[in-house]
Amino acid sequence: MRKQIAAANWKMNCTLTQAEELLSKLAAAEINVTENRISVIAVPAPYLILAQQQLVHKANVFVAAQNCYSKKSGAYTGETSVEMLQSIGTAYVLIGHSERREYFHETNSLLADKVNIALEYNITPIFCCGEALDIREANTQNEFVGRQLEESLFHLTAEQLQKVVIAYEPIWAIGTGKTASSEQAQEMHAYIRSALAAKYGSSVADSISILYGGSVKGSNAAELFAQPDVDGGLVGGASLNAEEFTAIINALK
């Protein structure tokens, strides 16, 4: 059974005091997690060690970085290497979030390098893909997302790919209050799984968790997660509220 995952992405939010308060509430929350029903909290880099310390006794809750660099080390001022992340026990890293692609011009080729080095250091990449509104309106979203997968992931072996989590983000539904319908989410998740199956076979495709990321809230999480190919969510704004995010975790299949 593939993992069902509720992943929080705090983005560039929270002061130290706010982060401590939010982590404390999450650490105390009654959440229904198991080995196959987990939560991942992606916090800003200054709070990675704090999050590890606050959540260390929370079984099946893991800390993630929001980004990493594509090189092991060197003269790359301001960047964070996966070697650094590994050294502090970071389990997951977001790669290719739409904001990284849009604002920092990260290409599919660069993201392939980031996926490679994360896997080299045994950190699970949460690889983000998805289309903007104009692509959705042109009904070319499948081709667009398929190209993202092909250029960033399809060089991997089947064994490597099974260590990757995929997050589908309809960019037009991030922070806009719009949400893809559960049917639209399922349609794209099914397409992604079919693309994986065409390349690697159905048994590999069926083992990979595919998360939905686009205005997931406590009120719509259960409906979204009930879809057969939706294995949880990558949650932005709602993850900054402990009660709301707890409800999302508890909505996992």
Distance of alpha carbon 18 from the chain centroid: 22
| Cα–Cα distance measured from residue 99 to residue 113, given in angstroms and rounded to the nearest whole number | 18
Q: Exactly one of 106, 131, 169, 189 is catalytic; which is it?
A: 169
| Cα–Cα distance measured from residue 18 to residue 240, given in angstroms and rounded to the nearest whole number | 10
CA end-to-end span of the chain: 11
Q: Exactly one of 35, 97, 106, 187 is catalytic; which is it?
A: 97
Are the CB atoms for 63 and 52 separated by under 8 Å? yes
H or E stretch covering 135? helix 133-137
Q: Is 105 a catalytic residue?
A: no
| Cα–Cα distance measured from residue 200 to residue 164, given in angstroms and rounded to the nearest whole number | 13
Q: Is 57 a catalytic residue?
A: no
| Cα–Cα distance measured from residue 80 to residue 82, given in angstroms and rounded to the nearest whole number | 7
Token pair, residue 20, equals 């401590």
> What count of residues does the chain have?
253
Residues with catalytic function: 97, 169
